Amino acid sequence: MFDEIFQAVCAHDRYFIQKRDCTGLLGALSHQKVTCALRMLAYATSADQLDEYIRLAESTVLKTLHRFCQAIIDVFGDTYLRTPNKDDLQKILMLHSQRGWVGCLGSLDVMKWEWKNCPMAWRGQFQSGKDTHPTIGLEAVVDCRLWFWHAYIGVPGAINDINILDQSPLFVELMQGKAPKVTFLVNNNVYEMGYYLTDGVYPKWKVLMQTIPEPLGRKQKLYAKLQEGQRKDVERAFGVLQVSLADWCLFFYLLLH
């Protein structure tokens, strides 16, 4: 993953290529600059902290971070975290149909991640009463392959899932008629809107399918079992994201952008 990012960034922006300055001395290595940007994104370090470790001046560190994030946006922006195109949508619908969820677009949930180095001036809005440290919310839609095709990141930690849902661009686009077009047939009824699997916190909307809290009978118990099992996709995806440094770096460029 590092090699792929390194090569793509260097090929896109010559700033990361080692060059000689006006005195003829070689400047910073390409690996120095890329490593510097990744460490700042992954560990939320300040520019001063990288002075001794990376051997780059503060102004160079900040410029490198800005150029790195812009390069990531330019190179990977059309590949990661984009709205599914027609082929992607057909693939998502087919995979969920094979699991018994016809018309399903994925699982929707919000994750809060800890921000230990949050600036003191921002702690009031990013810290809720039950959290020891400030947190930032990430709303995501994940399919059964753990592909994040929607992510709304940077939400203050004091906001709960319902407040995030009310301002989510996913449902703003739905109200504007820009959501993915889905048509499917169930029990001889034609539906023209896809749906998302969620937990019981979310409101009773037609596009949100929750489990049955206290199922009665075999049908309800089977539905609750399948719904809760399928919705584990988003929980597993969040778990993978939390332990994957490279994936976090790709997510952070959206926040900085």
Q: Which stretches of 168-244 are DSSP H helices?
A: 169-175, 217-230, 232-243
- pTM for the whole thing? 0.74
pLDDT of residue 246: 46
> Three-state DSSP class for 138?
strand
Query: What phi, psi does 121 have (nearest 5°)?
Result: -70, -20
What residues does each domain of the chain span? 2-76, 86-256
pLDDT number for residue 81: 64
Q: Which residues contact 143 (CB under 8 A, 6 or more apart)?
A: 92, 95, 96, 105, 106, 107, 149, 233
So what's the pLDDT on residue 244? 59
pLDDT given at position 128: 67
Quick one: pLDDT at residue 36?
87
CA 87 to CA 191: how far, in whole Å? 20
Question: What is the model's pLDDT at position 214?
Answer: 87
> For residue 249, what pLDDT is reported?
52
Kindly give the pairing relationship between strand 195-197 and strand 104-114: parallel
What are the C-alpha distances in Å from 147 to residues 20, 150, 206, 226, 236?
Answer: 42, 9, 23, 20, 11
**Distance in angstroms (rounded) separating the CA atoms of residues 139 and 23:** 50
| pLDDT tens by residue, the chain, 257 residues | 888 888 999 999 898 888 887 788 887 888 888 888 888 887 767 777 777 777 888 888 889 989 998 998 888 887 776 778 888 889 999 999 998 899 999 999 998 887 777 778 888 888 766 667 888 888 999 988 888 888 888 788 778 888 888 888 888 888 888 778 888 888 888 988 889 999 988 988 889 999 988 888 899 999 999 999 999 999 888 888 776 544 455 555 444 44
